[in-house]
Amino acid sequence: MRKFSRGVAALILGSALAATLHAQQPAPPVPPAAAETRPTGNAAIVNGQPIPEVAVYRALRQFPEQHKEMARKEILAHLIENALIDQYLKAINITVEEKEVDKIIDDLKKELAQVKKDYLKELEAMMLTEQEFRTEVAAQMKWEKFVEKQGTDAELKKLFDSNPDVFDGTMVRARHILMTPGNDEAKQKEAAGKLRGIKQVIEQEAAKAVAALPATATALEKEQARANKIDELFAAYAKEYSVCPSKKDGGDLNFFPRAGAMVEPFAKAAFALKPYEMSDVVATEFGYHLILVTNRRQGTPKKFEDVKEDVRMLYAMRLREAVVAQMKPKAQITITPPNPPAQPANFPAPK
């Protein structure tokens, strides 16, 4: 699944104002059809710390109706991670002073004034109180302070040297089929079995397509027939069974880089495949995936100095993942779930 851009991540923090802090402008919100009411209640509770429903809504209202079910899961997952990280930083005594937060907000007010916007009205438009915004600014500042402390030049260089394909601009294009069995072990086994069954059927049909070629067919013609049949059937099964919005495009996610676009288990699996190879079942925080790579664009080697900021961003992303992986297994997380989409009982040939 594709990760949110920094602009959208800023919206998840709760405000278009946060995007200004990162020098990124998010997509404009979808205009409401009527006056909006601030949602009440909690979307989740993480170790006793509530995540209010309004925090989810701030980001969710940016999405069209057909994407809201999937977007809610991603938004809530991000907010839960934020809470776990904030609790971790508090435990290791990473702090920021009020005057540091004041400076950031004062600078923001000046930036808004330059474009004739009012700070308080912008907060109101995002259903944010000033204290909520200050809390989010402080949380972001604490995280950046922690990353700076951990991400020394030596650590960044080590990451660069051990991951050449991440920074050379290599891209892959992939389709995927997503199923969301939740935490029920029986449903997880069922979903994994369905995905493996789909893979087996596609491989069998591709082999038949090759076998049907005349004896004079060249190796290139055989490979093309195999690739065409795999692509055709995978797209059809994605339209039939995937719950990702990409299903309308046959599960096509277009080109993406090794880091920064997809969650790590998905990206790692995709980049290990050659064109027209399918993965085994890949589990991520969003569900179970079957991945088909359809193209690969090889990049060119880069010098560390030329991509140092990209390395720093990846370091921060992996540090975040490491903190969450440490905190989440022992966390007490209660979620108010949306209604899950129904999964088909079995999978006949796609129509």
| Per-residue confidence band for 233, with pLDDT thresholds at 50, 70 and 90 | very high
The 10 Å CB-count burial string (b at 16+, else e) for 13-32 is bbbbbbbbbeeeebeeeeee
| Per-residue confidence band for 63, with pLDDT thresholds at 50, 70 and 90 | confident
**pLDDT tens track for 77-94:** 999 999 999 999 999 999
DSSP state of 229: H
Q: Token pair of 197, please?
A: 């069954």
**pLDDT tens track for 93-106:** 999 999 999 999 99
- Range 168-297 classified under CATH 3.10.50.40: yes
What integer pLDDT is reported at residue 66 of this predicted model? 80
Query: What does residue 22 show for φ and ψ, rounded to 5 degrees?
Result: -100, 10
Asked if domains 6-150 and 168-297 share a fold, the reply is no
- Range 6-150 classified under CATH 1.10.4030: yes
Check whether 167 has a pLDDT greater than 60.
Answer: yes
Ranges of each domain in the chain:
6-150, 168-297
Check whether 157 has a pLDDT greater than 60.
Answer: yes
Residues 6+ apart with CB under 8 A from 14: 55, 58, 59, 126, 128, 132, 133, 136
DSSP state of 152: -
The sheet that has 171-179: what strands, in order across it? 252-257, 171-179, 287-297, 282-284
Q: Which residue shows structure tokens 């997380």?
A: 333
For residues 258 and 321, is the Cβ–Cβ distance under 8 A? Answer: no
**pLDDT tens track for 17-46:** 333 333 333 334 444 445 678 889 999 999
Q: Token pair of 83, please?
A: 């809470």
Average pLDDT over the chain, rounded to an integer: 86
Which amino acid is it at 58?
Answer: R
What integer pLDDT is reported at residue 285 of this predicted model? 83
Residues 6+ apart with CB under 8 A from 183: none
What integer pLDDT is reported at residue 27 of this predicted model? 39
Nearest partner of 145 among 102, 191, 96, judged by Cα: 96
